[in-house]
Every structure is written in C-alpha cells, then in structure tokens.
Structure 1
Amino acid sequence: MDKLLNSSWFVKIIAFLLALMMYTIVTMETQEEAANRSIFSKMYTESETIQDVEITPYFDEKQYVLTDLPSSVDITLTGSSRLITKATKVDKEVEAYIDLTNEDPGNKRVKVNVRGLPEGVKAKVKPEYVDVILHKKVTKEMPVNVDLKNTRKLPEGYTAGDVEFSPKSVKVTGPEGMINQISFITGFVDVGDADEPIRTKVPLRAYNQQGDLIDVQVSPETAEVSVPIKKPKKTVPISIRTSGELEEGLSIASITSDPNEITLTGTTTSLDKYDSFKEISIDLSKIKKDTTLTVDVPVPDGIESVSVKEVSVSIDVEDEEVTRTFEDVPLTLLGTTDEKKATILDPEDGAVDVTVKGKKSTLDLLQKSDLEGILDVSQLEEGTHEVKIDWKNPADIDLTDTVQEASVEIQTETSSQ
C-alpha cells in the first residue's frame, strides 16, 4: 500500500477519478437548476391583449396631411404577469406608432411599432402593417355662408330677417385634392318654433358641389350668428274718427293724415281684427278754420307695437251752402222812352221773391239791393211779350230757383193816340 501511495501514477489516477466525480456532481446540479428555472418560468409567464390601442403617426405635420389611418390596433403582450401588470396598470406608456418622418407624399404600407414596454415583455401587433396616404398639405381662404333650417316651422305669421354672422371667411386646411373639391363653407341655424331673435354659435363645415361633407380643418371652427325673428305685422289705412260738431256754417271739406297708413305688430288673431286703424279721434268743436294737428298714436289692446308714434292730421273746412229768400225784389225796365212805354203784367207789381243759394259767409254779406233783375225791352214792338229776366248778382250765388221771365206790355205813343 505504501508503494502504491508512493507511486506518482497511482496518485495521478486517484486525482483524475476525484476530479471526474466532482465534475459529474456539478453538472448534475446545473442541469437540475436549469430544469427548475424552466419550470418556474413556465409557471409565471402569461399573455394579455390590449384592444383598440390608438395609433400615433409621426410625420411632418407642417407639410403633409395623413389619411386612411386605422383608428386603432390590438397589441398582445407576453411576459411575466408582474411586468404585464406594470406595463398596463402602472406605467401605462404602451404606444403603437408609425414613423413617416422621412417619407414623401403618396400611398404607404408601414409597420406598426410598439414602445413603452418594460424589459422582458414582448409585443405582437394586429394588424402588423397598415396602409395610409400621405398628402401634401394645402391651406386656402374661403367665404362663409349661413343657412336657415325649418323656416316653415316658424309660428304663424313670424318670419326670419336677414342673417348677420362673423367671420365672413375662414381658412381651410387639408389634402390638396380635398381642398380642390370644396364648393362652399356653411353653418346651419335651426329657426323652427322661434318667436324671439336668435343669437348663437354654429359649427362651420366644408361641402362639395353635391352637398357631401368634406373632412378638412376649418379655422375658426364656428361662427357667431344673429337671426332677427320678425313678428306678425299688418299694414292698414288710417281712418280718422271725429267727435263734436263744427260751428254753424262750416262743413268738412277733407280730413287727411300723414302718413295715411300704419303697420301693426301683434298676434295673428289680434291683427285679423283690423282692416283700418280708427284709434285716432279729432274734436271738431275746436276747429274754426283749416287746421293741421300733430296727434299721438295710441297702441290698442292686443297690439304689441305700431310703426309710428304720431301722425299729422290736416282738417280742411269750408262754408256750408245755405238758402235765403229776399222778398219783393223790383224788376228794372231797360229800353223805354217817352214814346215807348212798358208795363210789367206778371209778376204783379213788378217785383219777385228771389231765392239765392251760396256759402253762408257770402250770403251774410248780401243785401237786397245787390240783386237786380233787368228786363230789356229796347227791341220789342208794341204788344205783350215774355221777356227773359237778366239777373245781375254777385259771384258764387245760385239763382236757379228764381223767376226767370216776366210778361211785359209795350205801348207806343202812336197807339195811345
């Protein structure tokens, strides 16, 4: 035994066997630990799908507009439950994005990338690729219009006035092709059932010639709008009423007003009662001559307002025509000579009652002596004749009903001998 222990070969063999045994033991322990780790990993690794994750596009927004981008994707995360919980519930930094920063305009198929994940978590995107269009951005200034909706639904008699709005123009920004399709920029105001003026803000939208909405950016997005709502109105003639009486001898020649019409505002039912406006009255007992008065216009019950607050009323008066009789007005013979005599047979006594007609002011100044009936016999021969009476009277006096002829007998000196 001592010889074996003193032998170098024996010691080398023993050392080799010991080393081999140690290697085997270590190798067996490593494989067992690896197996244990694999089992542990399988026990604590899971998957979770985040649905409807919005896609964030990155591109030069000053020069381009992106269209046709899907609104979202689904992302399936794989990793330990702890890390997945950290990503979805704690950090909340998971982002789906596409990168077009170095792309030119046109149709693109780009990969959807994911970032914001903790180390050790893998992500799978569905769909993995999306198709988009990168357009050249165009901005154009265009006029604005505001249209009214449901005007037929306004209350009876109500109407919408001229619309006032601001701004009058806006800037529209979007893909060049879409901008070229825009026909008009319009906002809409619903006036149905409105009985008071409308002041509101309305969104402004772009439309093509067919009236289809075009999805572009409008700036500003809204317009301030004012719509006057006009209440029922009716225009009727003014009819002046009178009270009291003119003094004796005067009569009304005319009564006129300026204006001669008035516009009433109120409900349809109240307006239906008016064919003329008879709410203005004049006291004739105070009128002595042609007069012009300024009269306040009352607002009748049931009427909300009138178009004028006062009117000018002109009253023109004239003398009344009266009749007066002057008795025994003598007739005057004209054309008699010493050789030619004339006798009035009828009317007896050579005088008639004269009835005159005219304005009272004129007749008040008329005297009996102002009336003269002349019988011209200068051309008559001997005998009895019916002679027309030539009445000499002041102007503006009517003698129509007065005797117009007289019976005259002519005698000559020869016949008397």
Structure 2
Amino acid sequence: MKNWFRKDLKTKILSVLIAIFTWIIVSNLTNPMVSRTFNNIPVTILNEDFLDENDYTLKSAIRNYVDVTIRGRQETVEKVKIGDFLATVDYSQITSVSSRALELAELDCLVNGVVIESYTPTSIPIQLARNKVGTFEVVLENNITMKPGYVLYNTSLSQGTMQIFGEESKINSVDSIKAVLELKDLDRDTTKQVPCKVYDKAGREIPEFSKNLTVNVKVEVAKEVPISLVTRGRLAADYIETSRLINPQKVLVRGSTEAMEAVDDIKTEQVDIDTIDSNYAASVGLVVPDGLELVNSPDEITVNINIEKLVVRNIEFGSDDINILNARNDATLIYEIITDRLLLQFKGRQAEVSAIRADSLRPAVDVAGLEEGTHKLQLSINVPSQAKLLQKVYADVKISKTPEVENPPDVIEEP
C-alpha cells in the first residue's frame, strides 16, 4: 500500500499542476485581468470645522474630485461603481495660512478583488486667508424733510456698532457702515428698519458684507411754537407801551401726535401791568398744556416791557393862518375870522409830537352854505397819526355882505 502512494505521487502532483495551469489559462481567456479608470470620484472632507475653529477661510473652492484607475478580474471590475470608492482629505493638515496643498489619504475601494493602480491628483491645491472679526460704528445719514412747524429732535440706532466677519484683508479695507434714512413730511415719532451698506476706504460698497445688514432707527420729532405773552390791566394814565420783548420767542414741545398737532402757541403765566408807570422786566413761567413737555427750551422766559409817559405840545395859529373853504366866489359875501389866536394841543410820545410841523396841520373852516352873521365853526385839522388832538377847536367867522358901490353923477358936456 505504501509503495502504491509512492508510485503515484509524481503522477498526482503533475495532474494538480496541469489542472492549475489549465484553470489559469481558462480564467485568463474567460475572465482576464483588466484596468479601468473612474473619473470624478467625490472627495470627502474631514475635519471641515477646522477652518472656522482656526479662523481660516478658503479664498476659492477646492477641487473635490479625483480620477482613479483600478485593476482586477473583468467580472469584478465591471461590478465596481463610483460609490464604491472612499477618497478623503483632512483639513487638519493645514499648518498655517501659507499652506498650499492638502494630501489625499490613500484611496480605498470597497470591492474585494481589485487594486488601485493610481489616482490623480494625489494632493488638492488650496489658497487660504485668515478670517477676522471687525467692529465698526454705524453712521446714520438722514435724508428727512419735516412738515412745516416740526423739527427733528433726535435719532437713535438700535445698535451703534456692528461686527463683520470675513477675510482679514477685506475686513482691514472696511472704512464705514452707513445707514441711509429716507423720510418725507415727518410730523410724528417713528421707528424704521434701515438697510446698511459697508464701504471700503475708497468709498466703494462691499456687497458681500452689506447683505442682510440692517439697523432699526428711532426718529423723534418736536414742534416749534411761538410764545404768547399774557397780560392783564392797563398802564397808568398818560403812559404808553413802546415795546415788549420776550426771550426766547419760540420753544420746542414734545408729546403725542394729537397733542402736538393741536397746539399753536404756548402762553405765559399772567403778567400784571395794571397802573405801572415805569419799565417792566421779569422772568415769567410758561403754561404747558397737558400731554406736552418742553424740550431743549427753558421753562421760564424773560419779559421786558418798555413804557413812556405821554407829553402835550401846544401849537398856536393866528387868524391869518386859517384857510376858508367853500366860500362863495361871486364876491357878494365877505368872510372874516374874528378869533385872533387858536390853540391846538397834541398828546403823544415826546419824539413824535416834537416832530409835528405846524404847516402840515393845514387848519381850515368850512363856510359852505352859510349866510350873513357870526358863526362858530369847528376847525378842521390834518391830525398826524402818531398824535392825538386833545379837544375840538372852534373859530368865530363873521360873514357880511359886500358893500354896494354908488355910481358917480353924470357929467353934462357944454356945446
């Protein structure tokens, strides 16, 4: 039996070798080794948060695919799909902002029986920038027109500064953040959401930073109204008010829209000027209606009332200075003013009565329709507007017939 195994061993080994060789030949003919290239295999990014955690940003999108060549039996290779590959790149390889490439990890194919012959690229180029947070003041530019009588009292922003996150070089180029508010015919408080724009140092807008950037602007208005001085009583006899000055003449008030719309002036507390005979000066309080308050204005004003004592000026006229009006022009009557002197008394301010010229008064009597006799006639005077004639003045006028002239005797001529 032992000899039998030894006797057939060589034959058996030879048979096995022949079988293997035959299988290899058949396999190579029916299922040969082949290579295949797959394009655009997606690359998975590992540790993607590494950029934000270290304040890096990509200046441009990276290439996120590779081309892979594999080798294996035809039947196996034909079963391989793009999704069977695992290609990764790890952002944690970045050591500084100067890093220029990321090495791909060894590619893996999830299908057994194939090997990866090559892949390209083996590294992915990158271009990095350092991120930065910049804090900038928000500048409000008003383009507001007010309704007549109203003034812009105050504007305030919901936030006076804003933070912008982005590439360091771009953040360093930022000059300002501006919010432009457009309102017309404003007469009430309002709050408006205003878009903001970011500008560089050359005055150009940076749209990527301006996007979705807004601020709430609160606008407060006030109304400017005049002050009305309230007085009671009369000055002492023979005194006149020459001027009244108040300072300030206007104030600003704030309140509800309805309250501001209703107010036309602010009155003072009552000032008693009864029987005063000298200039008046005092501080007087203001009476502010309910629902309103004074803003940027004093609650008292200064009042100065100047007064002056009236004086009397006498002006005399002789009978020859008086004109006779509407006398008959048929020479049948003689008109004669028989009052020798007439006294006119004017009352007024010293400067004004002193300026009266006698020749401007043009005194006259009107004799229209009067017949013979002596008549007491009121003198008509051109009274100056700045003075007062204290009493009526009368003149006695005598009217008589013109004497008849006798005719001379006839003269008889001798022959």
TM, length-normalised to structure 2: 0.43
